[in-house]
Amino acid sequence: MTANSGNDAFVVFDHVQKSYDGETLVVKDLNLQIGKGEFLTMLGPSGSGKTTCLMMLAGFETATHGEILLNGRPINNIPPHQRGIGMVFQSYALFPHMTVEENLAFPLEVRGMSAATREEKVKRALEMVQMGEFGSRRPAQMSGGQQQRIALARALVFEPDLVLMDEPLGALDKQLREHMQYEIKHLHERLGITVVYVTHDQSEALTMSDRVAVFNDGIIKQLATPQDLYERPDNSFVAQFIGENNKLPAKVESREGDIVTVALPSGKACQALAVNCGGTGSDTLLSIRPERVRIGAAEDVNSTEGKVLELIYLGDHIRCRLNVHGNEEFVVKVPNSSDAGQLSVGETTRVTWAPEDARALDML
Protein backbone atom coordinates (compact mmCIF):
# COMPACT_ATOMS: atom_id res chain seq x y z
CA MET A 1 0.00 0.00 0.00
CA THR A 2 1.29 3.45 -0.82
CA ALA A 3 1.33 6.36 1.56
CA ASN A 4 -2.05 7.93 2.14
CA SER A 5 -2.17 11.68 1.95
CA GLY A 6 -4.49 14.35 3.20
CA ASN A 7 -8.01 13.43 4.21
CA ASP A 8 -7.99 9.69 3.51
CA ALA A 9 -5.39 8.86 6.20
CA PHE A 10 -6.86 6.75 9.02
CA VAL A 11 -4.20 7.50 11.65
CA VAL A 12 -2.37 10.83 11.64
CA PHE A 13 0.52 12.01 13.81
CA ASP A 14 0.68 15.78 13.25
CA HIS A 15 3.90 17.42 14.53
CA VAL A 16 3.89 15.12 17.57
CA GLN A 17 6.61 15.46 20.20
CA LYS A 18 7.14 13.66 23.48
CA SER A 19 9.38 14.51 26.42
CA TYR A 20 9.35 12.80 29.81
CA ASP A 21 11.53 15.33 31.60
CA GLY A 22 10.62 18.57 29.84
CA GLU A 23 14.03 18.80 28.19
CA THR A 24 14.94 15.71 26.15
CA LEU A 25 12.63 14.85 23.25
CA VAL A 26 12.07 11.10 22.94
CA VAL A 27 9.92 11.73 19.85
CA LYS A 28 10.86 14.73 17.71
CA ASP A 29 8.25 16.38 15.49
CA LEU A 30 6.67 13.18 14.15
CA ASN A 31 4.53 13.54 11.03
CA LEU A 32 3.08 10.21 9.92
CA GLN A 33 -0.04 9.11 8.05
CA ILE A 34 -1.31 5.53 8.10
CA GLY A 35 -3.95 4.35 5.66
CA LYS A 36 -7.06 2.36 6.54
CA GLY A 37 -6.32 -1.35 6.24
CA GLU A 38 -2.57 -0.78 6.20
CA PHE A 39 -0.04 -2.88 8.13
CA LEU A 40 2.58 -0.39 9.29
CA THR A 41 5.56 -1.43 11.39
CA MET A 42 7.57 0.91 13.59
CA LEU A 43 11.06 -0.55 13.58
CA GLY A 44 14.15 0.60 15.41
CA PRO A 45 16.66 -0.05 18.19
CA SER A 46 15.81 0.30 21.89
CA GLY A 47 15.24 3.92 22.86
CA SER A 48 14.46 5.07 19.31
CA GLY A 49 10.95 6.30 20.18
CA LYS A 50 8.87 3.64 18.43
CA THR A 51 7.14 2.23 21.53
CA THR A 52 6.46 5.73 22.87
CA CYS A 53 4.63 6.50 19.60
CA LEU A 54 2.53 3.37 19.99
CA MET A 55 1.71 4.21 23.62
CA MET A 56 0.63 7.74 22.62
CA LEU A 57 -1.65 6.27 19.95
CA ALA A 58 -3.09 3.83 22.50
CA GLY A 59 -3.64 6.62 25.04
CA PHE A 60 -1.24 5.32 27.70
CA GLU A 61 1.10 8.28 27.09
CA THR A 62 0.20 11.89 26.29
CA ALA A 63 1.88 13.88 23.54
CA THR A 64 3.88 16.86 24.80
CA HIS A 65 3.13 18.72 21.57
CA GLY A 66 1.14 18.08 18.40
CA GLU A 67 -2.02 16.14 17.66
CA ILE A 68 -2.96 12.52 16.98
CA LEU A 69 -6.06 11.84 14.88
CA LEU A 70 -7.96 8.59 14.41
CA ASN A 71 -10.33 8.47 11.45
CA GLY A 72 -10.31 12.27 11.32
CA ARG A 73 -11.04 12.72 15.04
CA PRO A 74 -8.49 14.21 17.49
CA ILE A 75 -7.90 11.68 20.27
CA ASN A 76 -5.27 13.35 22.50
CA ASN A 77 -7.81 13.87 25.30
CA ILE A 78 -9.80 10.65 24.83
CA PRO A 79 -9.00 7.93 27.44
CA PRO A 80 -7.67 4.56 26.17
CA HIS A 81 -10.85 2.56 26.79
CA GLN A 82 -12.89 4.98 24.66
CA ARG A 83 -10.63 4.88 21.61
CA GLY A 84 -11.89 1.49 20.38
CA ILE A 85 -8.37 0.18 19.76
CA GLY A 86 -7.28 -3.45 20.16
CA MET A 87 -3.92 -4.08 21.87
CA VAL A 88 -1.55 -7.07 21.85
CA PHE A 89 1.49 -7.07 24.16
CA GLN A 90 4.57 -9.29 24.42
CA SER A 91 3.43 -10.35 27.92
CA TYR A 92 0.01 -11.52 26.58
CA ALA A 93 -1.66 -9.73 29.58
CA LEU A 94 -4.31 -12.46 29.93
CA PHE A 95 -6.21 -12.75 33.23
CA PRO A 96 -4.85 -15.96 34.83
CA HIS A 97 -7.99 -16.65 36.91
CA MET A 98 -10.29 -16.54 33.86
CA THR A 99 -10.87 -19.14 31.18
CA VAL A 100 -10.09 -18.32 27.57
CA GLU A 101 -13.76 -17.57 26.87
CA GLU A 102 -13.97 -15.30 29.93
CA ASN A 103 -10.82 -13.46 28.86
CA LEU A 104 -12.31 -12.80 25.43
CA ALA A 105 -15.74 -11.89 26.80
CA PHE A 106 -14.32 -9.28 29.20
CA PRO A 107 -13.81 -6.43 26.66
CA LEU A 108 -17.31 -7.15 25.31
CA GLU A 109 -18.82 -7.02 28.80
CA VAL A 110 -17.12 -3.68 29.45
CA ARG A 111 -18.80 -2.39 26.29
CA GLY A 112 -22.20 -3.48 27.58
CA MET A 113 -22.90 -6.21 25.01
CA SER A 114 -25.56 -8.84 25.74
CA ALA A 115 -24.65 -12.41 26.76
CA ALA A 116 -25.85 -13.80 23.41
CA THR A 117 -23.77 -11.27 21.44
CA ARG A 118 -20.74 -11.96 23.64
CA GLU A 119 -21.01 -15.70 23.08
CA GLU A 120 -21.28 -15.30 19.31
CA LYS A 121 -18.32 -12.90 19.07
CA VAL A 122 -16.09 -15.01 21.34
CA LYS A 123 -16.78 -18.10 19.25
CA ARG A 124 -15.99 -16.23 16.03
CA ALA A 125 -12.75 -14.78 17.44
CA LEU A 126 -11.53 -18.18 18.65
CA GLU A 127 -12.21 -19.73 15.25
CA MET A 128 -10.34 -16.83 13.64
CA VAL A 129 -7.12 -17.86 15.44
CA GLN A 130 -7.90 -21.60 15.19
CA MET A 131 -8.38 -22.01 18.95
CA GLY A 132 -12.05 -23.02 19.03
CA GLU A 133 -11.44 -26.03 21.30
CA PHE A 134 -9.58 -24.09 24.00
CA GLY A 135 -12.43 -21.94 25.35
CA SER A 136 -12.64 -23.64 28.75
CA ARG A 137 -8.90 -23.65 29.46
CA ARG A 138 -7.00 -21.18 31.59
CA PRO A 139 -3.84 -19.41 30.36
CA ALA A 140 -1.54 -21.55 32.53
CA GLN A 141 -2.80 -24.68 30.74
CA MET A 142 -1.56 -23.45 27.36
CA SER A 143 1.79 -22.97 25.61
CA GLY A 144 3.27 -19.54 24.87
CA GLY A 145 2.18 -19.72 21.25
CA GLN A 146 -1.38 -20.66 22.22
CA GLN A 147 -1.53 -17.81 24.76
CA GLN A 148 -0.35 -15.38 22.11
CA ARG A 149 -3.15 -16.50 19.79
CA ILE A 150 -5.67 -15.90 22.58
CA ALA A 151 -4.21 -12.46 23.22
CA LEU A 152 -4.60 -11.75 19.51
CA ALA A 153 -8.20 -13.03 19.55
CA ARG A 154 -8.99 -10.80 22.54
CA ALA A 155 -7.68 -7.77 20.66
CA LEU A 156 -9.91 -8.63 17.69
CA VAL A 157 -13.05 -9.85 19.49
CA PHE A 158 -14.81 -6.47 19.63
CA GLU A 159 -13.98 -5.91 15.92
CA PRO A 160 -11.82 -2.78 16.25
CA ASP A 161 -10.78 -0.82 13.18
CA LEU A 162 -7.25 -0.47 14.58
CA VAL A 163 -5.03 -3.01 16.35
CA LEU A 164 -1.74 -2.07 18.02
CA MET A 165 0.92 -4.72 18.64
CA ASP A 166 3.94 -4.10 20.87
CA GLU A 167 6.67 -6.75 20.34
CA PRO A 168 3.96 -9.45 20.48
CA LEU A 169 6.23 -12.32 19.38
CA GLY A 170 9.29 -11.42 21.46
CA ALA A 171 8.76 -14.18 24.05
CA LEU A 172 8.38 -17.00 21.50
CA ASP A 173 11.11 -19.29 20.17
CA LYS A 174 12.43 -18.71 16.65
CA GLN A 175 10.37 -21.33 14.82
CA LEU A 176 7.10 -20.39 16.53
CA ARG A 177 7.83 -16.69 16.05
CA GLU A 178 8.24 -17.17 12.29
CA HIS A 179 5.04 -19.22 12.14
CA MET A 180 3.11 -16.54 14.03
CA GLN A 181 4.44 -13.83 11.69
CA TYR A 182 2.64 -15.52 8.79
CA GLU A 183 -0.47 -16.15 10.93
CA ILE A 184 -0.77 -12.44 11.79
CA LYS A 185 -0.02 -11.39 8.21
CA HIS A 186 -2.72 -13.69 6.80
CA LEU A 187 -5.20 -12.60 9.49
CA HIS A 188 -4.59 -8.96 8.56
CA GLU A 189 -5.10 -9.69 4.88
CA ARG A 190 -8.32 -11.60 5.58
CA LEU A 191 -9.89 -9.05 7.96
CA GLY A 192 -8.63 -5.84 6.34
CA ILE A 193 -7.99 -4.20 9.72
CA THR A 194 -5.40 -1.47 10.27
CA VAL A 195 -2.37 -2.72 12.22
CA VAL A 196 0.41 -0.67 13.81
CA TYR A 197 3.16 -3.04 14.90
CA VAL A 198 6.28 -2.29 16.97
CA THR A 199 9.41 -4.43 16.80
CA HIS A 200 13.21 -4.24 16.81
CA ASP A 201 13.36 -7.39 14.64
CA GLN A 202 14.02 -6.41 11.03
CA SER A 203 13.04 -9.78 9.53
CA GLU A 204 9.68 -9.54 11.29
CA ALA A 205 9.16 -6.06 9.83
CA LEU A 206 10.14 -7.10 6.31
CA THR A 207 7.96 -10.23 6.39
CA MET A 208 4.72 -8.69 7.60
CA SER A 209 4.44 -5.03 6.65
CA ASP A 210 2.96 -2.94 3.87
CA ARG A 211 5.29 -0.14 4.96
CA VAL A 212 7.98 0.20 7.61
CA ALA A 213 8.93 3.35 9.52
CA VAL A 214 12.57 3.01 10.63
CA PHE A 215 13.10 5.00 13.84
CA ASN A 216 16.33 6.27 15.36
CA ASP A 217 16.82 8.91 18.03
CA GLY A 218 13.19 10.00 18.00
CA ILE A 219 12.80 10.52 14.25
CA ILE A 220 11.80 8.43 11.24
CA LYS A 221 14.95 7.87 9.19
CA GLN A 222 12.99 6.33 6.31
CA LEU A 223 9.38 5.31 5.64
CA ALA A 224 8.99 2.86 2.76
CA THR A 225 7.92 -0.60 1.63
CA PRO A 226 10.10 -3.49 2.84
CA GLN A 227 11.56 -3.90 -0.66
CA ASP A 228 12.46 -0.21 -0.94
CA LEU A 229 14.07 -0.17 2.50
CA TYR A 230 16.32 -3.08 1.60
CA GLU A 231 17.06 -2.27 -2.04
CA ARG A 232 17.05 1.54 -1.81
CA PRO A 233 18.08 2.77 1.65
CA ASP A 234 18.15 6.57 1.90
CA ASN A 235 20.95 6.79 4.46
CA SER A 236 23.69 4.83 6.17
CA PHE A 237 21.64 4.11 9.29
CA VAL A 238 18.90 2.33 7.32
CA ALA A 239 21.46 0.51 5.14
CA GLN A 240 23.16 -0.84 8.27
CA PHE A 241 19.98 -1.58 10.25
CA ILE A 242 18.06 -3.39 7.50
CA GLY A 243 19.74 -6.57 6.33
CA GLU A 244 23.44 -7.21 5.89
CA ASN A 245 25.50 -4.50 4.27
CA ASN A 246 29.09 -3.92 3.18
CA LYS A 247 30.40 -0.42 3.76
CA LEU A 248 33.50 1.19 2.26
CA PRO A 249 34.57 4.75 3.11
CA ALA A 250 35.36 6.83 0.03
CA LYS A 251 35.84 10.38 -1.25
CA VAL A 252 33.76 11.95 -4.01
CA GLU A 253 35.81 12.75 -7.13
CA SER A 254 33.14 13.70 -9.67
CA ARG A 255 29.48 13.30 -10.53
CA GLU A 256 27.61 12.80 -13.76
CA GLY A 257 23.83 12.60 -13.41
CA ASP A 258 22.95 9.95 -10.85
CA ILE A 259 26.39 8.30 -10.98
CA VAL A 260 29.23 9.45 -8.75
CA THR A 261 32.89 8.48 -9.14
CA VAL A 262 34.64 7.98 -5.80
CA ALA A 263 38.12 7.10 -4.61
CA LEU A 264 38.51 4.28 -2.07
CA PRO A 265 41.20 4.59 0.68
CA SER A 266 43.68 2.74 -1.57
CA GLY A 267 43.15 5.34 -4.32
CA LYS A 268 41.16 2.87 -6.44
CA ALA A 269 38.33 4.66 -8.29
CA CYS A 270 34.87 3.16 -8.62
CA GLN A 271 31.34 4.26 -9.43
CA ALA A 272 28.11 4.26 -7.44
CA LEU A 273 24.61 5.72 -7.33
CA ALA A 274 24.67 9.19 -5.77
CA VAL A 275 21.95 8.86 -3.12
CA ASN A 276 22.95 10.91 -0.10
CA CYS A 277 26.43 12.31 -0.63
CA GLY A 278 28.04 15.74 -0.94
CA GLY A 279 30.01 17.36 -3.74
CA THR A 280 33.57 16.87 -4.98
CA GLY A 281 36.03 16.23 -2.14
CA SER A 282 33.39 15.23 0.43
CA ASP A 283 33.47 11.97 2.38
CA THR A 284 30.91 9.30 1.61
CA LEU A 285 30.15 5.71 2.56
CA LEU A 286 29.52 3.10 -0.12
CA SER A 287 26.79 0.60 0.72
CA ILE A 288 26.78 -2.73 -1.16
CA ARG A 289 24.59 -5.75 -0.34
CA PRO A 290 26.51 -9.07 -0.03
CA GLU A 291 24.39 -10.84 -2.66
CA ARG A 292 25.17 -8.14 -5.25
CA VAL A 293 28.93 -8.76 -5.19
CA ARG A 294 30.47 -11.26 -7.61
CA ILE A 295 33.68 -13.16 -6.95
CA GLY A 296 36.12 -14.05 -9.73
CA ALA A 297 34.08 -12.28 -12.43
CA ALA A 298 35.66 -10.56 -15.42
CA GLU A 299 37.27 -7.21 -14.65
CA ASP A 300 34.77 -4.34 -14.66
CA VAL A 301 34.57 -0.66 -13.71
CA ASN A 302 34.15 -1.63 -10.05
CA SER A 303 36.65 -4.47 -9.85
CA THR A 304 39.01 -4.70 -6.92
CA GLU A 305 40.86 -7.35 -4.95
CA GLY A 306 39.97 -9.03 -1.70
CA LYS A 307 41.71 -11.58 0.51
CA VAL A 308 39.53 -14.49 1.63
CA LEU A 309 39.49 -14.64 5.45
CA GLU A 310 36.66 -17.09 6.15
CA LEU A 311 34.30 -19.46 4.35
CA ILE A 312 31.10 -20.67 6.02
CA TYR A 313 28.90 -23.28 4.37
CA LEU A 314 25.19 -22.41 4.78
CA GLY A 315 23.54 -24.88 2.42
CA ASP A 316 22.11 -22.76 -0.38
CA HIS A 317 25.09 -20.37 -0.30
CA ILE A 318 28.58 -19.95 1.08
CA ARG A 319 29.28 -16.90 3.20
CA CYS A 320 32.68 -15.58 2.19
CA ARG A 321 34.32 -12.96 4.41
CA LEU A 322 37.13 -10.97 2.85
CA ASN A 323 39.50 -8.11 3.51
CA VAL A 324 38.61 -5.48 0.90
CA HIS A 325 40.50 -2.19 1.14
CA GLY A 326 41.09 -2.68 4.87
CA ASN A 327 37.51 -3.72 5.67
CA GLU A 328 37.85 -7.23 7.15
CA GLU A 329 34.07 -7.65 7.44
CA PHE A 330 33.34 -7.44 3.70
CA VAL A 331 30.90 -10.29 3.04
CA VAL A 332 29.90 -11.96 -0.21
CA LYS A 333 27.12 -14.52 -0.46
CA VAL A 334 28.34 -17.02 -3.05
CA PRO A 335 25.60 -19.28 -4.51
CA ASN A 336 26.26 -22.94 -3.78
CA SER A 337 27.27 -23.98 -7.28
CA SER A 338 30.21 -25.81 -8.81
CA ASP A 339 32.25 -22.58 -8.73
CA ALA A 340 31.86 -22.05 -4.99
CA GLY A 341 34.15 -24.92 -4.04
CA GLN A 342 37.09 -23.30 -5.83
CA LEU A 343 37.56 -20.65 -3.13
CA SER A 344 40.04 -21.18 -0.31
CA VAL A 345 40.99 -19.20 2.79
CA GLY A 346 44.08 -17.05 2.32
CA GLU A 347 43.79 -16.58 -1.44
CA THR A 348 43.35 -13.21 -3.12
CA THR A 349 40.46 -12.97 -5.55
CA ARG A 350 38.71 -10.35 -7.63
CA VAL A 351 35.45 -8.89 -6.33
CA THR A 352 33.12 -6.95 -8.62
CA TRP A 353 29.83 -5.12 -8.33
CA ALA A 354 27.72 -3.03 -10.71
CA PRO A 355 27.66 0.77 -10.18
CA GLU A 356 23.87 0.68 -9.66
CA ASP A 357 24.33 -1.86 -6.82
CA ALA A 358 26.51 0.51 -4.79
CA ARG A 359 24.93 3.48 -3.04
CA ALA A 360 26.95 6.54 -2.00
CA LEU A 361 25.49 7.57 1.36
CA ASP A 362 26.16 9.84 4.32
CA MET A 363 28.95 8.96 6.74
CA LEU A 364 27.73 7.18 9.91
Helix (H, G, I), strand (E, B) or coil at 206: helix
pLDDT tens-digit readout, 217-258: 999 999 999 999 999 999 999 999 999 999 999 999 999 999
Residues 78 and 213 in one domain: yes
Q: What is the CA radius of gyration of the chain?
A: 25
> Is pLDDT of 338 > 70?
no
State whether 258 and 139 are in the same domain.
no
Of 236, 260, 294, which closes a domain? 236
In a shared domain, residues 250 and 110: no
The Cα-based distances of 327 to 128, 197, 241, 277 in angstroms read 50, 36, 18, 20
Question: What pLDDT score was predicted for residue 109?
Answer: 87
Same domain? For 219 and 318 the reply is no
Residue 341 has pLDDT above 70, yes or no: no
Q: Check whether 2 has a pLDDT greater than 80.
A: no
pLDDT value of position 156: 86
Q: Would you say residue 145 lies in a domain?
A: yes
**144-158: average pLDDT:** 87
- Write out the DSSP string of 338-354: TTGGG--TT-EEEEE--
Q: Quote the domain boundaries for residue 289.
A: 244-361
- Please say which residue of 236, 267, 289 terminates a domain: 236
pLDDT of residue 3: 42
Are residues 143 and 256 both part of a single domain? no
Compute the mean pLDDT over every residue in the chain, rounded to the nearest whole number: 90
Read off the pLDDT of residues 179-212 as tens digits, 9 standing for 90 and up: 888 888 988 998 899 999 999 999 999 999 999 9
Q: How far apart are CA 228 and CA 1, in angstroms?
A: 12
Is residue 40 within 8 Å of 197, Cβ to Cβ? yes
Q: Do 51 and 67 have their domain in common?
A: yes
Q: Which of 187, 220, 236 is the last residue of a domain?
A: 236
The torsion angle over the Cα atoms of residues 197, 202, 208 and 209, rounded to 10 degrees, is 70
For residue 6, is pLDDT > 70? no
pTM of the model: 0.88
Q: What is the pLDDT of residues 282-332, one digit of tens each?
A: 999 999 999 999 997 777 788 899 999 999 999 989 999 999 988 999 999
- Lowest-pLDDT choice from 152-156, 276-280, 339-343: 339-343
User: Are 333 and 208 within one domain?
Assistant: no
Q: Do residues 226 and 43 touch, judged by C-beta distance below 8 A?
A: no
Nearest by Cα to 233 from 206, 204, 264, 262: 206
Do residues 46 and 124 both lie within one domain? yes
